[in-house]
Amino acid sequence: MNASNQTEKFEHLVHQIDPQAKLIRHWPLTGGVSAQTTAIQIQYVNGQTQKMVVRQHGQADLRHNSNIAEDEYHLLRQLKEEGLAAPDAYYHDSAEAVFSDPCAVIEFIDGDTEFAPADLDDYLHQCATHLAKIHQIDAKKLDLSFLSTQSENQAKKVQAQPEKLDETINEGQVREVLNAAWPWPQVNETVLLHGDYWPGNLLWKDGQLVGVVDWEDAHLGDPLIDLAISRVEFALFMGVEAVEAFTHRYQSLMKLDMSNLMYWDLFAILRYPHKLSEWAEDELTEKKWCESLNIFIDKALKKLSI
């Protein structure tokens, strides 16, 4: 699509949101993996301007959930009302009236990701506090019927038999342990899960966590699933020591049964086989990540007395 046609598409989108508003500009946003993200700035008839984010979901998302744009819209509207630092949602186009793929138009949050915080303790404190806020939402009073529990997907991931194991992160033993224990019982009440709560989805401004983005993996389940995903990510980017500080703060707020956490820690590792070289910017980073994951895995196995 050339620049002129693209601008026309965004102008049409703006008119769907507000027939009297006009498009001022649009520009691509970096960092998105599963969805193509574009920022737009519009002007209302009263002269006020507003920035928004257009998320166009690709085929990978659509194969997972054909209603992802509509679901994202309804989820974000409810989360905003619950007082979470989630972007509001303004419009969704599941009928593909504007673009060739479904899209959702959401709030532009003025903030940046942070991977080297000046005050790591406060950073981890805020991260843990907001994850607890997500899990403390009363999911029963919201309309979350469109979200899956993903228990079937979890079983598929555990029981998968890859053609080639990634032994740089001990994938063979991780899968062996998980297969022997599956299905371990759910020991905590089902809650709303973000599904990908890591530093790349957290926005900061002036030392404050101002936004949690990318909710396309949201589902329902044991909060330990989210906690484990976060623990692995903080081990990678903040160091293994940071994991305990993050977990301690989260635990103090949630009072959960943590007996199955080590299984979920190992389950979260299944996100990484053969991915580190693809994600790392250089070999040194890849080596550091690999070492961090192996330390994390060893700790989980030790706690399971393996």
Residue by residue, DSSP assigns 164-233 as S--GGGTHHHHHHHHHHHPSPPP-S--EEE-S--SGGGEEEETTEEEEE---TT-EEE-HHHHHHHHHHH
268 and 140, same structural domain? yes
Q: Assess if residue 115 is contained within a domain.
A: no
pLDDT of 13 reads 94
Phi, then psi, of 275 in degrees rounded to 5 = -105, -25
Is 120 in contact with 242 (CB distance < 8 Å)?
yes
Q: Which residue among 107, 138, 165 closes a domain?
A: 107
Average pLDDT of 126-140?
Answer: 96
288 and 158, same structural domain? yes
Q: What residues form DSSP beta bridges with 209?
A: 204
Q: Assess if residue 249 is contained within a domain.
A: yes
Whose CA is closest to 75, among 137, 131, 151?
137
pLDDT of 34 reads 66
What does pTM read for this prediction? Answer: 0.93
- Across 5-9, 108-112, 204-208, least confident range: 5-9
pLDDT tens digits along 205-234: 999 999 999 998 999 999 999 999 999 999
Determine the angle formed by the axes of helices 283-303 and 261-269, rounding to 10 degrees: 150
- Average pLDDT along the chain: 93
Average pLDDT of 91-98?
Answer: 83
Q: Which domain holds residue 217?
A: 120-303
Q: Which residue among 107, 130, 148 closes a domain?
A: 107
